Chains A and B, each alone.
Chain A
Amino acid sequence: MLLATVAKPTIDWAGTSPLLALLGGAIIVLLAGLLRGRFIREQLVPLLTVVAFGTAIGLGIWQWGEGKELFVARGSQGALRLDELTLMITFVVSVTGIGAVLLSWRALAPREAAHGEYFALMLTSAAGMVILAAAQNLVTVFLGLELLSVPLYVLCATEMRRERSLESGLKYLIIGSVGSATFLYGLAFIYGGTGGTDFRDIAAAISGGTAKDSLLLTGIALTLVGLAFKASIAPFHQWTPDVYEGAPTPVTAWMAVATKAAAFGGALRIFDVALIDAHADWAPMIAALAAITIIVGNVGALSQSSLKRLLAWSSVAQAGYLLAGLVGASKLGVQATVFYLSVYLFMNLAAFAVIVAREREAPFGDDIRSVAGIGVSRPLLAWPMTLAMLSLAGMPATAGFIGKFTLIDAAADAGYTWLGVVIVVGSMISLAYYLKVVAAMWMRPAGAGEVATVDGSPRLAGADPAAERADWEVTLVAVLAGAAIVVFGVVPSPLLNLAGDAGRALGLL
């Protein structure tokens, strides 16, 4: 009987085009990667990937303000929705993608993973992220989540000859699967409680009072836990430092920003659209999670000496800040979350670009010693890193300040002023470790211990540091992201407007 009602859905090809650019790009890149030529594999494949991401952005701009349902079957809601929220997440993901491709261009990881596969996986997971942020049906939500996760498991393990990379991939696979399973379980409960998979039906069931509370609440809690795994929200964050540290750095950069953006995009749609009328039930839950995450993340970061681990813990804390935008279930909250995700992109991209550069220049890997003294020797790297750290800490005149401002504003507006206070307390704790990085760059003597190598490699003793300059594209990413941090810190209005459109798209107050 069910089958009988299923009809061929109407597909809006124009609205689907950003997604198709990513998926189509993945196929083209994969095929191009099969060709033998060195030039094609090492230069053309990354270039095509950038083009795919760029096309997605361009098509997104074309479709801005259209606000339409995609894949509409008769009598039901579209499986995906193209609106400003979807597009903002697409932009964040694609810009991160371009950055990550530039960081990967001459890195070890794509070489080991045969170029084509590496970049195709990246594009596939990007498509999954867009689907997750656009989905308005429990089934498509899960589809998006898996499509983004599975390629990431592989990407983490692409440096096949490095044990840590494999460990990272395996760990991510196991924990990620637990997260996905929990998430799926939660979705099933929501379906059981409300009798619908469309977000519209779920919302109607809740507001109409026909939903079964026990099933629904269990479902909300489990869904939240599943998302918490993906967005590294405490206490489901334990995988984050290990996976971030083990994964190839460009992949870490990609994962840190894009996954988080997608997970929050999906969370905004699930909680602020489907479950909006159960707001009173889940808001305290999320507020509590936010507070725990902020404290755990910041305290965890204090003792780290590996920059990637430090940023992993910091990303846990930042996820806590982002939750503050979700708590209010308001237009202001969505605006705050989307704005913060957009600026978070630049902060992380700047930081990871510098780490990539220093991994190639200095013999310390991602240890904090690798940036010691670069204020003098490499100002073009030191400034973006400094701005990134200050912005992550929320210092004024950086985008992070405005971001925190909007988040606290949203929390206070929703009556959760105490959460605003927790955010600033977290920022205070975070200063201790962000300053440690800034201090290392500017206030430690240049090249401290540059001669004493860790792994015993002889290449550094007496080598001219100028000869080891990182590739230009890495510096370019760092400088552009650093500039964006300042620009959006001083002129935040345009970006806030875009984020505000995303907030309006969900139809909240």
Chain B
Amino acid sequence: MSLPLSIPLWLPAAAAFLALLLPAIATRALVILGALGTFAWSIWAIIDFERSARGLQNVTDEIWVKQLGIHYKLGIDGLNLFLIALAAFIFLVCLVWAAFQSGPARPHPKQFFLFFAIAESAVLGALMAQDLALFVLFFDLMLLPFLFLTGIWGPESTRVAAITKLFIYTLVGSLLMLAAAIATGVLVSQQTGNDLSFAFSDLAKVTLPSGSQNWIFLCFAAAFLVKMPAFPVHGWMPDGYRNMPLPVLAVFSAVLSKVAAYGFLRVVIPIFPDASAHFQDLMLVLALGSILYGSAMAFTTSESRLVLGYSSVAQLGFITLGIFALNGDGAQGAILQAVNHGLVVAPAFVIVAYLAARTGGSEDIRDMGGIAFRAPVLAALFLIVTLANLAMPGSSNFVGEFLILLGVFHSKLVIAVIAFTGVGMAAVYSLRLFIKTMHNRVGADVESRDISFREGLVLVPLVAVILFFALYPQLALHKGERTINRSVSAAGAISGSDKALATHPEITVIR
């Protein structure tokens, strides 16, 4: 039978705490082993997952704080299955990356790995949690390690200002969410007369009055939009991205933003369907704003990190668009795209690091260029990543964006039409980054050399998974279809956006 979810959840953190007691040489190995164990479990969980079963699988349900109705309830379903695997995979790769490259983890490698592993456990906890209070707890907790990871290992002159900004920005949202979550629990228990309980299953049974739903929705939306980040609450992003060490940034960008997108599908839309329908237009417009603003910024900035940062803003705009299409197509596309974006942005940051190592430390794309001839392997890998990022037909990202746009097309035609331009702009900024770094004239301080074995160890698995998903995108779609459709069905019915549900055109298209 299946393992209790607590084991893969706490394994990384437990390994890192254990590693504190061991000599430094064993630290890396033990921490990587912990992350590897969780990753292996996540693969197995995908294989083991019953597609046809209803509801949660592999549920752990204990009462944690009885007086407050907080359950320690974990479970997996189609909604979080692939995001958990994504998180486990990206964390593992980035750990290996941080462990085998000199630089990021010094000084104090033990602490670095400890915080890294706590971050992994917290992210997995947020993805697995099936209790609102527990979700909020993990959602806030996952930010804490990044405070230290950025503040201790970031560039000395600017890091404190950056983390202050990052922290206050993101916690403005998260703490409002805490108040909103408690209010939800209290209102539900007052309405039903039952004891206080925060389990999603208990909360979803009750429909709150739309007045309460509306303000609670806005609090949750603030938390998730800031974390994504979405335009216009992305203000922390440039400073935050500039100051994180690259392996840290890779997981932050690839995984943490997805938890926010996931939060919409897990918490907001099923529990507050009326408000979701009510604010659908607002959210779609914000998503559109993110796409256009992110794209425009991505092809004007010259810092390679920020190109990727703004491209993430645009991509998460797409994901939000899919979520608030409020129908099965859009939501499935959003989950698929969340996995895809994570898989694309992490290798992109790895490549930024490798390029920076070849240009004497500069991450400005004006200092790069022309290394494709001497480094064909690196260039080829980067090309795959780039093409996936711009959603080339044949890539899994294409399927994801297609589904998202299809969903929006069914619910809000005008917005879909404008969003199509975002696809074109993605090609511009992705190719710009590729051409400027790989082709053109060789930069002044550029030392062209191909990737070493160690570098390949990190990059090749990431690219291999992109290729795998390009071939089998339906893997992610099939397993999740049922739960994902259900999570948006109530809100979709209210807003009238679920016209596409009946026919399932996407399945025929993909097959």
Which residues does A use to contact B, with CB under 8 Å?
A: 335, 375-376, 390, 394-397, 401-402, 404-406, 408-409, 412-413, 417, 420-421, 423-425, 427-428, 431-432, 435-436, 438-439, 442-445, 492-493, 496-497, 500
Contact = CB atoms under 8 A, between A and B. Distances in A.
A424 B223 CA distance: 13
Nearest to B148: A442
Given A397-B141, A424-B179, A443 B152 contact: yes
A421 B172 CA distance: 11
A375 B168 CA distance: 22
Nearest to B144: A395
B68 A405 contact: yes
17 contacts: A376-B108, A395-B144, A397-B144, A402-B65, A405-B68, A424-B178, A428-B175, A431-B168, A431-B171, A432-B168, A435-B164, A439-B160, A443-B160, A492-B65, A493-B67, A496-B67, A496-B68
By secondary structure, the B interface counts as: helix
B465 interface: no
Contacts of B187: 412
Contact of A493 (B66, B138, B168, B186): B66
A288 B172 CA distance: 22
A397 B137 contact: yes
B182 A401 contact: no
Interface string B139-150: 011001001100
B167 interface: yes
Give the 7 A-B CB pairs with smallest separation, nearest first.
A424-B175, A443-B151, A412-B186, A396-B137, A396-B141, A424-B179, A496-B67
A376 B175 CA distance: 30
Contacts of A492: 65
B74 to A, nearest CB: 16
B503 to A, nearest CB: 43
Interface in B359-408: none
Contacts of B185: 409
A395 B141 CA distance: 7
B179 A409 contact: no
B178 A438 contact: no
Given A409-B186, A417-B183, A435-B163, A395 B140 contact: yes
B197 to A, nearest CB: 12
Interface in B328-375: none
Chain B contact residues (Cβ within 8 angstroms of A): what range? 35 or more
Contacts of A397: 137, 141, 144
A408 B178 contact: yes
B175 A427 contact: yes
A281 B123 CA distance: 46
Interface string B269-285: 00000000000000000
Interface of B: 64-68, 108, 133, 136-138, 140-141, 144, 147-148, 151-152, 156, 159-160, 163-164, 167-168, 171-172, 175-176, 178-179, 182-183, 185-187, 190, 196
A438 B66 CA distance: 32
B124 to A, nearest CB: 15
A412 B182 contact: yes
A442 B141 contact: no
Given A409-B185, A428-B175, A442-B152, 15 more contacts: A396-B138, A405-B178, A409-B68, A409-B182, A417-B179, A417-B186, A427-B171, A428-B172, A435-B164, A435-B168, A436-B164, A442-B148, A443-B151, A443-B152, A493-B64
Nearest to B134: A396
Contacts of A395: 140-141, 144
Contacts of A335: 67
A421 B176 contact: yes
A189 B183 CA distance: 38
Contacts of A394: 175
Given A395-B140, A443-B151, A500 B164 contact: no
Nearest to A379: B111
Contacts of A496: 65, 67-68
Contacts of A423: 179
